[in-house]
Amino acid sequence: MTHWTEIAIFLVSALSGTLGAMVGLGGGVFMVPIFSAFLGVPIKFAIAASALAVIVNSLGGASVYLQHRMVNLRLALLMLVATALGAIFGALLVASAPVNALRLVFSLALYAMIVLLSLQRATTRPVTTGSDRFQLATNFFDPAVGGVVSYIPQHVLLGTASSTIAGLLSGLLGVGGGFVQVPLMNVLMRVPVKAAAATSAYMIGVTVVGSVLLYYANALLVPQVAVPAALGVFLGSQVGSRLGRRVHGRWLKRVLMAILLYLATTLLLQALGVPVPGTR
């Protein structure tokens, strides 16, 4: 591997980190295909480096969001129980179930989410009154609207149970699962998209911890790939989390929809047996 490859890994990671932190993703869904298909990195090393970069992105992005109190910690912890359980099932499914059938189901689910997001108005009005059985109501300052946004998450049990899907996808694909969490929180639970992205940024790091430790134990975490990826994503997450606070929710939602479309199509092609560069 040349120095240019290491620099390219750094740059790709920085861009992925910026975009990922803006919309609450780890950026792994971009890094793995690009590293392996275009930079010649073995797929397992790319996945391991990507999983580590997801944690870096989460730590970097969440530190900014936590500072501005945009992360709903109680909601994140509640959903993490289901997400982590889903990740275990996902890891088990990889070994036992036909993966292509699962990919088909998930790609259809992602397309359904895109439709839901496109039907939902960008300025989804959060619910500010009513019961709050789980004490999840909170508020944050949104510089884009120049004021405080308050909300009470809705359909908490259904949303928490549904976040198991994010965990399943994380276990299957080695990603953080933010691309499921953000629309889930935004559309179903009526959490403002910025708070959803911030909460997801915190959650994805916790979701992939187990995988990264295993990758290290199995010598798949190669410094030559992981170090430039970690540094690049750190830089990107700092830029992305700051940009994310200033960009209007409408634009964040469009970016998220584009990412979901990319993922859904990738999964669908894989399920149909069409080779997609860089995917497992």
Partner 1 sequence: MRRLAATVQQIRENSSPRNLTTDDTQPLSRLSQLLARLYRFWLALALLLLSIGTVLDLVDDRRLATETVPLAELPAALIHMDPAAFESVALLIVAFGPVAGLLTIIVSTARQGDRRTAGVAVLVLVVVAVLPIVRSLGGR
**Angstrom distance (rounded) from CA 151 to CA 187:** 13
83-112 binders of partner 1 (CB under 8 A): 84-85, 87-88, 91-92, 94-95
154 is a site residue for partner 1 (CB under 8 A): no
- For residues 172 and 260, which CB has a smaller minimum distance to partner 1 in the complex? 172
- With binding defined as CB under 8 A, does residue 227 bind partner 1? yes
Rounded to a whole number of angstroms, the minimum distance from the CB of residue 234 to partner 1 is 6
**Least distance to partner 1 from the beta carbon of 114, Å?**
29
Beta carbon nearer to partner 1, 77 or 258: 77
Q: How far is Cα of residue 127 from the mean position of the Cα atoms in its chain?
A: 24
The residues that bridge with 149 in the sheet, in sequence order, are 140
Distances (CA, A) of 66 to 73, 77, 118, 142: 9, 14, 29, 13
Q: Which is nearer to partner 1, 143 or 277 (CB)?
A: 143
**31 vs 187, beta carbon nearer partner 1:** 31
DSSP string of 113-180, one letter each residue: HHHHHHHS-TTPPPP-SS--TT---EEEEETTTTEEEEE---SHHHHHHHTHHHHHHHHHHSS--HHH
Rank residues 110 and 184 by Cβ distance to partner 1 and give the closer one: 184
Restricted to residues 130-149, the positions that interact with partner 1 (CB under 8 A) are 135, 138-141, 143, 146-148
The answer to the question of residue 173 lying near partner 1 (CB under 8 A) is: no
Task: Please report whether residue 243 would count as binding partner 1 according to CB under 8 A.
Answer: no
Convert residues 60-79 into a mask of x (bound to partner 1 by CB under 8 A) and - (unbound).
x-xxx-xxxx-x-xx--xx-
Residues in 191-210 at the binding interface with partner 1, rule: CB under 8 A: 205-206, 209-210
Nearest-angstrom CA–CA distance, 141 and 252? 17
Contact 3, 228 (CB under 8 A): no
Candidates 7, 81, 258, 261: give the one binding partner 1 (CB under 8 A): 81
* Tokens at 262, concatenated: 């990319």
Neighbours of 30 (CB within 10 A): 23
Q: Does the footprint of partner 1 cover residue 42 (CB under 8 A)?
A: no
The span of 27-35, 98-106, 213-221, 272-280 binding partner 1 (CB under 8 A) equals: 213-221
Which CB contacts under 8 angstroms, 24+ apart, belong to 152-155? 152/126, 152/127, 152/128, 153/72, 153/75, 153/185, 153/189, 153/190, 153/191, 154/127, 154/188, 154/189, 154/190, 155/188, 155/189, 155/190
Residue whose tokens read 């300052």: 141
User: Total residues contacting partner 1 (rule CB under 8 A)?
Assistant: 59
In the bound state with partner 1, the residue whose beta carbon lies nearer, of 81 and 122, is 81
CA 42, chain centre distance (Å): 23
Binding site for partner 1 (CB under 8 A): 6, 52, 55-56, 58-60, 62-64, 66-69, 71, 73-74, 77-78, 80-81, 84-85, 87-88, 91-92, 94-95, 135, 138-141, 143, 146-148, 205-206, 209-214, 216-217, 219, 221-224, 226-228, 230-231, 234
